[in-house]
Structure 1
Amino acid sequence: MKIIDLYIIKKYLGTFGFMLGLLSIIVLVIDVQAKAPRIESNGFKVSEFLVNFYPFWIINLIITFMSILVFISVIFFTSKIANNTEIVAIISSGASFHRFARPYLMTSGLIAIAALLINHFVLPLANIKKNELEPYTYSTKSREEFLGNAEVATQLSKTEYIFIKSYNKKNKGGSGFMYQKFDKKKNLIYQFNAADFYWDKDKKHFVMSNYLEKTFLKNDKEKLGSGNTINKKFGLPPEELFPDVLLGQNKTTPDLVKFINREKEKGNANLNTYLNELHQRTSMPFSVIILTFLGLSLSSQKKRGGLGMNLAIGITLAFVFVFSFEVLKVVSENKSISPLLAMWLPNIIFGPVALFLYFKRANQ
């Protein structure tokens, strides 16, 4: 059986590699053509993006659609060998269907392990590069919503808050800054206001202009202070103090776990976006194994309609599977379901279905 194992592994990896390359080339060409006018209108050259953006964008694309590619690849090559009656010959030689499925398990397991490592440690580093330039591929309105001025409110701890009237994420500065600190009884004990501010990345502190600070003492007394400029530190850089939805994508899993725990200690309850990112990094690779056995079960018998019918069923199921992740993300972010359950629910549903169909096929 070792010869047959190697034959199936080569078929699996060969078809998967071909699908991977084909999807990457087609989507890359379409995306570059669609976004070239926006890239050039923002003062960049398309060649710059081909070097500094698209290689990292492709990594993200591959990981996003890996489950679909695996599923379609398994259905494609398994349907071909089933139509050539090769599976019948292998089973007739005395091998069980479980033994025939062993190389599928081995290969899908290797791909899942590779996907786990990429998801947790490589993809975040690629996302840092991708997310730096991605706003410049958006429409003018979407780019301004992402990079333009906006109001900000953040919680530093259970007793400390920052409110900003106008903050520019690109320039890391703004106007209308207010910091408040409360005691355990929720009484305001200190307030700092500044007309304008910016982040000094070299000295790693905020530079505040035209500031006024109040310390609230006992007996309704106040201690006032003011000046033209003052330097302030709040323990973290702007990216951490005022996180956006992309921050979770940019952190390796150990750093993401630290960030989530720190935000929980601060009392931040709006963490589902980051928790979705954390749990999906593990659940998506596991789906590779589930979809491999689902694809094997659906395509290992010669059917009327042949390869075309199997591919149609496979593509439909694969897109339902991946699309369900995106729907459940939205549901989870609205706090209708926990992030852990949301990111594992497709596997929880499709896993038993794959096992049922697999054992049904094995017992035929």
Structure 2
Amino acid sequence: MKIIDLYIIKKYLGTFGFMLGLLTIIVLIIDVQAKAPRIESNGFTVGEFLIDFYPYWIINLIITFMSILVFISVIFFTSRIANNTEIVAIISSGASFHRFARPYLMTSGFIAVLALLINHFVLPLANIKKNELEPYTYNAKSREEFTGNAEIATQLSKTEYIFIKSYNKKEKRGSGFIYQKLDKNRKLIYQLIANEFYWQKDKKHFVLNSYLEKTITKDESEKLGNGDSMTKSFGHPPEELFPDVLLGQNKTTPELIKFIDREKEKGNANLNSYLNELYQRTSMPVSVIILTFLGLSLSSQKKRGGLGVNLAIGIALAFVFVFSFEVLKVVSENKTLPPLLAIWLPNIIFAPVALYLYFKRANQ
């Protein structure tokens, strides 16, 4: 069976590699053509994006569609060897269906482990590069959310808050700055107001210009102070203090867990998008194994209609999987479902279906 194992593994990886390359080329060409006008209107060239953006974007694309490509690849090559009666010959030689399925498990396990490592440690580094330029591929309204001025309200801890009238994330400066600190009874004990402020990256602190500070003592008297300029550190850079939806993508899993824990300590209740990012890094690789066995079960018998029927079923199920996954992410961000349940629900549903069809096929 070792020869047959190697034969199936080569078929699996060869078909998967071909599908991966084909998808990458097609989607890359379509995406570049669609986004070229926006790229050039923002002062960049397509050549610059092909070097500084798309290599990292492709890594994200591959990971996003990996489980679906695996599913379609398994259906494609398994249907072909089933139609050639190769599976019948292998089973007739005395091998059980479970033994025949072993190379599928080995290969899908290898891909899943590789995807886990990439998801948790490599993809975030690629996303840092990707997300620096991605806003310049958006339309003007969407781009403004990441590169323009925005009003900020954030909680530093259970008793500390920052409010900013206008803040530019790209330049890391703004106007209308207010910092407030409360006591355990939720009464104001300190307030700092500045007309303008900016972040000094080399010294890792904010510079506040034209500031006014007020301290309220225990006897409720007020002490006022003002000046032209002062420096203030809040313990973290602006990206951490004023996070956007892309921040979670840029952090390796240990960094993301620390960030989520810190936000929980601060009392931040808007963490579902970051929790979705954390949980999907594991759930998507696991789906590779589930969809492999689902594809094997659906395509390992010769059917009337052959490859076309199996591919049609596979593409339909792949669409259902991807659609349900994306819908559940939105549902989770709206706090209708807990993130852990929402992200794992497609696997929870598809895993019993895959097991049932697999054992049904094995017992035939």
Q: State the TM-score, normalized to the length of structure 1.
A: 0.99
Partner residue in 1 for 2:44: 44
Partner residue in 1 for 2:61: 61
Q: Distance in 2 between matches of 1:149 and 1:168?
A: 4
Q: Distance in 2 between matches of 1:143 and 1:338?
A: 30
Q: Distance in 2 between matches of 1:126 and 1:325?
A: 23
User: CA contact under 8 A between 1:212 and 1:227: conserved in structure 2?
Assistant: yes
The residue type paired with residue 111 of structure 1 is I
Deviation at 1:203, TM superposition (A): 1.2
Partner residue in 2 for 1:240: 240
Alpha-carbon displacement from aligned partner over 1:34-59 (angstroms, at most 9, x marks no partner): 11111111111111100000000000
Deviation at 1:301, TM superposition (A): 0.4
Alpha-carbon displacement from aligned partner over 1:22-79 (angstroms, at most 9, x marks no partner): 0000000110111111111111111110000000000000000001100000000000
Partner residue in 2 for 1:88: 88
The residue type paired with residue 214 of structure 2 is K
Q: Distance in 1 between matches of 2:215 and 2:92?
A: 86
Q: State the TM-score, normalized to the length of structure 2.
A: 0.99
Partner residue in 2 for 1:293: 293
Question: 5+ residue gaps in structure 1?
Answer: none
Q: Distance in 1 between matches of 2:207 and 2:218?
A: 30
Partner residue in 1 for 2:355: 355
User: CA contact under 8 A between 1:67 and 1:322: conserved in structure 2?
Assistant: no
Partner residue in 2 for 1:321: 321
Partner residue in 1 for 2:103: 103
Q: Does 1:262 align with 2:262?
A: yes
Q: What do you get for the CA RMSD once the two structures are aligned?
A: 0.7
Q: Distance in 1 between matches of 2:259 and 2:103?
A: 40
User: CA contact under 8 A between 2:146 and 2:170: conserved in structure 1?
Assistant: no
The residue type paired with residue 323 of structure 1 is F
The residue type paired with residue 172 of structure 1 is K
Alpha-carbon displacement from aligned partner over 1:177-234 (angstroms, at most 9, x marks no partner): 0000001111100000001111111111111111000001233310000011111100
| DSSP-derived class of the 1:304 partner | coil
1:149-188, aligned counterparts within 5 Å?
Answer: 149-188=149-188
Partner residue in 2 for 1:10: 10
Alpha-carbon displacement from aligned partner over 1:91-131 (angstroms, at most 9, x marks no partner): 01110000000000000000000000000000000000000
Partner residue in 2 for 1:344: 344
Partner residue in 2 for 1:279: 279
Over the matched positions of the two proteins, sequence identity in percent amounts to 85
Partner residue in 1 for 2:205: 205
Aligned residue pairs total 364
* Runs of 4+, deviation exceeding 2 Å: none
| DSSP-derived class of the 1:178 partner | strand
